[in-house]
């Protein structure tokens, strides 16, 4: 039987960001091509058979992104973005979180099943300038691409815009047995998709670019590289995509309508490979794909596009023939259903611009909006209340768990949505049912991942609780955070510019 190949982007076209009133189209920057920057792997401080120790440093830097002056940037153990962090499932992880920035930040482990709110690293876990905090956890989740980014509401968007985002690769024994490329930097490549505008003297100016529906820029940066190319030396290439942009959606396809195979989504390997010629990612989503260049010869070029704008040129060199075939079944996902008497949680994603909210409420970091018993599954119905005429896709993200997508408006989810997810794009007037289970107790945020929307209040909190062992949490309050930001920036509290407030 012929393999089904999907040739559309699945999402509702009238809601694409190309229809936004403030949409900024991408343009090819007038600069020479450069080799794609592949982030190096972060070296552990120490590693044993059972434990791994890291130091992760949030730091300032300068990056030569385009000709002329260097751009002032932030990163993790690097001037921009960061070194890729690798975790092995089952190991106990110890991390020193060191802040060398001029202001407080947090270290949010997006996609990791870790306790909240402190280890998870949302707004309740600030690390102040010059200080180092320690966290530790045992990682028990499947192999996947996750990521680390700043999350100090309501300054998440500007800190990610400065560059605080880096990849996190989780490995396990199940994925290791599958016939996937995994030689990092050679045939296993992360692609962090972002966009920026270069202002005077090649600097980024978040305040000048600010838009409450999400900041965009006309220049694509792939792993922080403008106009990148990659030298292909193997027939098959594994690309680990991360939409690390504040707002932009990416509608990915290759020249020649080259077919590729999606093997994983946010939370790990898909049950079955999905064959595509087009792939759309909303903010914070990840997708791992395998591209086969077997029909090309040395000297050929294959281009990755978003819409009609080139992102990366793949320059073909000599490679050994590779006839590896993927099995029809990749992994089995443990996904128990809720008990029949469990109520369905209903969440609405409301508004646009400054009017965004969840269930009609703005975020309050001292308020617990919902509770769910640890270890029990529950259906959540996520409804985007925007108009189908001029509304937008809202990417819905939950901290501290990986969920499965049950349905879209009562119908099957998209073909590449049968795996574990922590972020799902919801079309206007659509209800997406997801199945959520927390394996650890804690307080976790859930929100729109258009980052300006979460800073603007499109966010809430849930407590995962154990009825036999009730806990009280000391939650950070907005007044404390605002006073700290004002002091660090050397301004009076009343003059503090926090656009999400």
For residue 269, the model assigns a pLDDT of 98
Q: Tokens 């976790």 — which residue? A: 444
How confident is the model over 294-304, as pLDDT tens digits?
999 999 999 99
Residue 360: count of CB within 10 angstroms of its CB: 9
From CA 178, how far away is CA 190, in angstroms rounded?
19
In CATH, what is the architecture of 27-174? Sandwich (2.60)
For residue 332, the model assigns a pLDDT of 97
Distances, alpha carbon 149 to alpha carbons 25, 162, 237, 362, 498, in Å: 25, 11, 26, 22, 19
pTM for this prediction: 0.97
For residue 106, the model assigns a pLDDT of 98
DSSP-assigned states of every residue in 406-440 = EEETTBPPPTT-SS-BSEEEE-TT-EEEEEE--SS
Element (H, E) at 488: helix 478-489
From CA 244, how far away is CA 108, in angstroms rounded?
14
Spell out the CATH class of 345-482: mainly beta
Task: Tell me if the domain spanning 188-316 has CATH number 2.60.40.420.
Answer: yes
- Map out the domains of the chain as residue ranges: 27-174, 188-316, 345-482
Residue 421: count of CB within 10 angstroms of its CB: 24
Pairing type for strands 268-276 and 5-6 reads parallel
Cβ contact 280:11 at 8 Å: yes
Same fold for the domain at 27-174 and the one at 345-482?
A: yes
From CA 39, how far away is CA 241, in angstroms rounded?
13
Q: Which residues of the chain have pLDDT under 70?
A: 1, 501
For residue 501, the model assigns a pLDDT of 67
From CA 376, how far away is CA 226, in angstroms rounded?
45
Q: Which residues contact 442 (CB under 8 A, 6 or more apart)?
A: 115, 116, 117, 119, 120, 400, 463, 464, 473
For residue 103, the model assigns a pLDDT of 96
Name the nearest CA neighbour of 465 among 341, 362, 370, 353.
Answer: 370
Q: Tokens 């087009």 — which residue? A: 278
């Amino acid at each position: 039987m012929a393999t089904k190949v999907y040739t559309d982007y699945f999402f509702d076209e009238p809601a694409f960001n190309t229809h936004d009133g403030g949409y900024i189209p991408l343009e090819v920057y007038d600069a020479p091509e450069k080799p794609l920057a592949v982030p190096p792997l972060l070296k552990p401080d120490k590693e044993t058979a059972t434990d791994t120790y890291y130091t992760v440093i949030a730091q300032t830097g300068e990056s030569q992104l385009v000709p002329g002056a260097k751009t002032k940037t932030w990163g993790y153990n690097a001037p921009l973005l960061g070194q890729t962090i690798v975790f092995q499932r089952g190991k106990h992880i110890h991390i020193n979180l060191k802040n060398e920035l001029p202001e407080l930040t947090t270290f949010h482990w997006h996609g990791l099943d870790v306790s909240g709110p402190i280890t998870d690293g949302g707004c309740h876990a600030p690390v102040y300038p010059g200080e180092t905090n320690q966290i530790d956890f045992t990682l028990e989740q499947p192999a996947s691409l996750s990521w680390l980014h700043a999350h100090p509401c309501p300054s998440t968007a500007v800190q990610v815009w400065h560059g605080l985002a880096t990849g996190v690769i989780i490995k396990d024994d199940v994925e290791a047995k599958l016939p996937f490329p995994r030689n990092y930097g050679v045939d296993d490549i992360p692609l962090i998709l972002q966009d920026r505008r270069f202002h005077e003297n090649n600097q980024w100016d978040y305040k000048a670019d600010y838009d409450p529906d999400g900041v965009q820029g006309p220049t694509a940066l792939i792993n922080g590289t403008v106009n990148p190319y990659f030298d292909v030396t193997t027939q098959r290439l594994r690309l680990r995509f991360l939409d690390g942009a504040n707002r932009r959606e990416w509608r990915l396809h290759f020249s020649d309508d080259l077919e590729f195979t999606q093997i994983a989504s946010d939370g790990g390997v898909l049950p079955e490979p999905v064959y595509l010629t087009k792939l759309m990612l909303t903010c914070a989503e990840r997708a791992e794909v395998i591209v086969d260049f077997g029909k090309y010869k040395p000297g050929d070029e294959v281009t990755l596009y978003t819409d009609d704008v080139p992102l990366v040129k793949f320059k073909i060199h000599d490679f050994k023939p590779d006839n590896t075939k993927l099995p029809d079944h990749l992994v089995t996902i443990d996904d128990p259903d809720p008990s029949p008497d469990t109520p369905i949680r209903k969440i609405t994603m409301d508004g646009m611009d400054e009017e965004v909210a969840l269930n009609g409420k703005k975020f309050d970091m001292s308020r617990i909006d919902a509770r769910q018993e640890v270890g029990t599954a529950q259906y959540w119905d996520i409804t985007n209340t925007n108009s189908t005429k001029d509304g937008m896709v809202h990417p819905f993200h939950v901290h501290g768990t990986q969920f499965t997508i049950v349905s879209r408006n009562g119908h099957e989810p998209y073909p590449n949505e049968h795996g574990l997810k922590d972020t799902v794009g919801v079309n206007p007037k659509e209800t997406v049912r997801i199945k959520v289970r927390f394996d650890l107790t804690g307080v976790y945020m859930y929100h729109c991942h258009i980052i300006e929307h979460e800073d603007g209040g499109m966010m809430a909190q849930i407590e995962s609780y154990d009825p036999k062992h009730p806990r009280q949490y000391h939650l950070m309050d907005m007044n404390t955070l605002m006073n700290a930001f004002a002091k660090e920036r050397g301004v009076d509290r009343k003059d503090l510019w926090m656009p999400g407030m």
